[in-house]
Amino acid sequence: MSAAAETFEFQSDVQQVLRLVIHSLYSNKTIFLRELISNASDACDKLRFEALKQPDLTGDQQELRIDLSWDKNARTLTVSDTGIGMTRAELIENLGTIARSGTRAYLDALEAGQKADAQLIGQFGVGFYSAFIVADRVAVTSRRAGSDEAWTWTSAGDGRYTLEPAEQATRGTTIVLHLKDGEDEFLDGWTLRSQVRTYSDHIGFPIRMPVEKDGAPTDEFEVVNQASALWTRPKNELSDADYQAFYKHVSHDFGDALAWTHNRVEGNQNFTSLLFVPAKAPFDFGGERDVRKGLKLYIKRVFIMDAAEQMLPNYLRFVRGVIDSDDLPLNVSRELLQNSRGVEKLKAALTRRVLDLLERIARDEPEKYLEFWKAFGATLKEGLAEDPANKDRLAKLLRVASTHANERDTLISLDDYIARMKPGQSAIWYLTADGWNAARNSPQLEALRGRGIEVLLLHERIDEWMIGYLDSYADKKLKHVAKGEFSADELGDAGSETATREAASKDAQPVVDKLKAALGDTVKDVRVSRRLTQSPSCLVLEEYDMALHMQRLLKAAGHEVPAAKPILEINPSHPLLAKFDGETDDARRGDLAFLLFEQAQLAEGAQLDDPAGFVRRMNALLLGG
């Protein structure tokens, strides 16, 4: 270390990431080479892009390439590139901190759960720090394109790094790994070559290695990869392994992709797209941050920008990949992309490709589709609201629980439902509820269950909102079991059943009137239920009211919600209603009326307005008062 070297501390998270990377990825240690080559390739892409606006950035050194060399005596491995390079400030910013939000919580969860396996830490994106799996000292010398200063960043991965001025004749970055004892396999040309061919063949820039003579590297370099953009190569020349390796490069995912679609389109628009569906959601997926990354826009093979936001609808934000357009101008800006009709068309075409792919998986590989659904189903559901043009296709891709299996994880499609519909049944029935148990045990389901009619159980937060955008599917209306009145037709009832019910309803009129009087304006109405067969009462809403649990959720989140009062439906054949009817004491009758209302609230998952009052009323009833 020279006198001019300054010492810096790593940001605290870095140390933890390093520890996890080194320990959990040791068995996959060759990953470091992929990561360093991947970073070098990104740096070349960035330079090519910046040089579009500033051609003199490339100077005399036009060639973009990555060199890999080794020195057995010094026990070093060197990866260098002629990419964009880093300034002193960028070295500090990029190699001493971790920019992804949520990192700390994720790391703590990993360590607490003792689950720091390769898959998990890999998902997090290991990047540059993976160099420390095999090296006990790493020196990064870099010179930013357009600058004549170079700096060397050095660290032993022990919490500190140093920075000092350096000499480097040309732009780019050189990373020297001082290998740990026992890592000699990376000082072998044959091993390195085979690693590069297996994992980095798809890199679009030449990766060069020294030609060997008598087992030793010479000064002459040769290109060891294909060095052509993978998506420009014919499909039949590419293996699954090629696609998976490329996926890891574009997505920074450590695991494999679930599926991909690779297409060349010629005609009005000319473009190539290669789109991947990941197998697992990244750890920070879901929020708005970072999620719009992942689709790289190239124009005539030149990387332009990450343009997921302009090129894919928000509900497909899990898709990763590349689009390479022949038509867009090389100087395209984000603003231009936002307002271009050509881009709208591209977006529609890409959306179609992804939906085609998902449909194909759903049809041919249902197990795999469920895996996809587990990771990204909730995101895809947003599409019903966001993309009316593809509503039918998205509805077909929907998977939900239902009363048929009555298991939370046994999911069915709307087509499965339709295939099981009863003769005469006209609607697709569903229930939305706040949680699985509230859904499957809801009293609202009794009559339909009794008739063997299946009901979709929508118990996730997004469901109430999502289903609001889907009023019919395949010419069948979707109906909420807790909203509106059931008609005999919808239930598939015969005329005689309807007549019996009407008679019972008439008989129960005095009970209904007494309940109305007792409950006053707590409820909108009281009526005899067609829904209930076992429970004494339940709450229902008008056809277009917002579900009660949704009203509660919005209120809790501080929104103004127009209060939609529920209707109390009763089952006159239940003994509790007979007891209510026979009660002569006014106070006790009032208590019973409120208990009927409150237990319906509880069954529906609501919190009571007056829990202490409920307890008092219930105790009075239990004691036979």
Ligand X SMILES: Nc1ncnc2c1ncn2[C@@H]1O[C@H](COP(=O)(O)OP(=O)(O)OP(=O)(O)O)[C@@H](O)[C@H]1O
Residue in 1, 207, 178, 219 with CA at minimum distance from that of residue 72: 178
Please check if 81 is assigned to a binding site: yes
70, 300, 356 from 339: Cα distances, Å: 50, 21, 26
Q: CB-wise, 43 or 428, nearer to ligand X?
A: 43
Q: Rank residues 85 and 377 by Cβ distance to ligand X and give the closer one.
A: 85
Answer positive or negative: Cα dihedral of 46, 50, 55, 57: negative
Q: Which position's Cβ is nearest ligand X?
A: 127
In one letter, which amino acid is 87? T
The residue type found at 142 is S
| Residue found under tokens 């022949």 | 326
127 is in an annotated binding site: yes
101 is in an annotated binding site: yes
The nearest distance, CB 604 to ligand X, in angstroms, is 45
Angle between helices 366-381 and 341-364 in degrees, nearest 10: 140
Instruction: Closer to ligand X by CB, 65 or 480: give it.
Output: 65
Amino acid at 143: R
Q: Is 124 annotated as a binding residue?
A: yes
Q: Check if the beta carbon of residue 534 is closer than 8 Å to that of residue 605.
A: no
CA separation for the pair 26, 36 (Å, rounded): 16
Minimum CB distance to ligand X, residue 157 (Å): 13
Shortest Cβ 172–ligand X spacing (Å): 7
Q: Is 35 annotated as a binding residue?
A: yes
Residue 479 token pair: 């109906």
Other beta carbons less than 10 A from residue 324's beta carbon: 23
Residue 173 assigned ligand-binding role = yes
Q: How far is the CB of 2 from ligand X (least distance, A)?
A: 23
Q: How far is the CB of 73 from ligand X (least distance, A)?
A: 25
Considering the complex, state which of residue 129 and residue 199 has its C-beta at the smaller distance from ligand X.
Answer: 129
In the complex, which residues of this chain contact ligand X (CB under 6 A)?
Answer: 35, 39-40, 43, 81, 83-86, 94, 125, 127-129, 173, 252
Smallest distance, ligand X to C-beta of residue 65, A: 12
**Closest CA relative to residue 138, chosen from 85, 96, 200:** 96
Check whether 425 is labelled as a binding-site residue.
Answer: no
- Which is nearer to ligand X, 320 or 549 (by Cβ)? 320
- By beta-carbon proximity to ligand X, the closer residue of 35 and 545 is 35
Q: Is 76 annotated as a binding residue?
A: no
Q: How far is the CB of 252 from ligand X (least distance, A)?
A: 3
Q: 460, 474, 351: which is closest to 413 by C-alpha? A: 474
| Cβ at position 142, least distance to ligand X in Å | 7
Q: Pick between residue 93 and residue 184 the one whose CB is nearest to ligand X.
A: 93
Known binder of ligand: residue 86?
A: yes
Residue 288 Cβ vs ligand X, minimum distance, rounded to whole Å? 19
Q: Quick one: 576 exposed, middle or buried, by C-beta within 10 A (0-12, 13-18, 19+)?
A: middle
Order of all β-strands in the sheet with 455-458:
411-412, 400-402, 455-458, 427-432, 476-480, 472-473
Q: Is 224 annotated as a binding residue?
A: no
Nearer to ligand X, 94 or 119 (CB): 94
Which residues of 120-266 form beta strands (DSSP E)?
135-143, 150-155, 160-166, 172-179, 207-213, 216-223, 257-265
Start-to-end C-alpha separation, the chain: 89
The rounded distance, in Å, linking the Cα atoms of 429 and 417 is 9
Q: Would you say 90 or 365 has its CB closer to ligand X?
A: 90
Find the shortest distance in angstroms from Cβ 126 to ligand X: 6
Distance CA 158, CA 389 (A): 55
Between 99 and 419, CB nearer to ligand X? 99
- Cα 211 from Cα 410, distance rounded (Å): 58
Q: Count other C-beta atoms under 10 Å from residue 608's C-beta.
A: 15
CB of 99 to ligand X, least distance (A): 7
The amino acid at 344: E
Nearer to ligand X, 35 or 454 (CB): 35
> Is the CB of residue 294 less than 8 Å from the CB of residue 257?
no
Judge whether 277 is annotated as a binding position.
no
Q: Which residue in 155, 139, 142, 140 sits closest to 18, CA to CA?
A: 155
- What phi and psi, each to the nearest 5 degrees, are found at residue 184? -65, -15
Question: Which residues are part of a known binding site for ATP?
Answer: 35, 39, 81, 86, 94, 101-102, 123-128, 173, 334
Write out the binding residues: 35, 39, 81, 86, 94, 101-102, 123-128, 173, 334
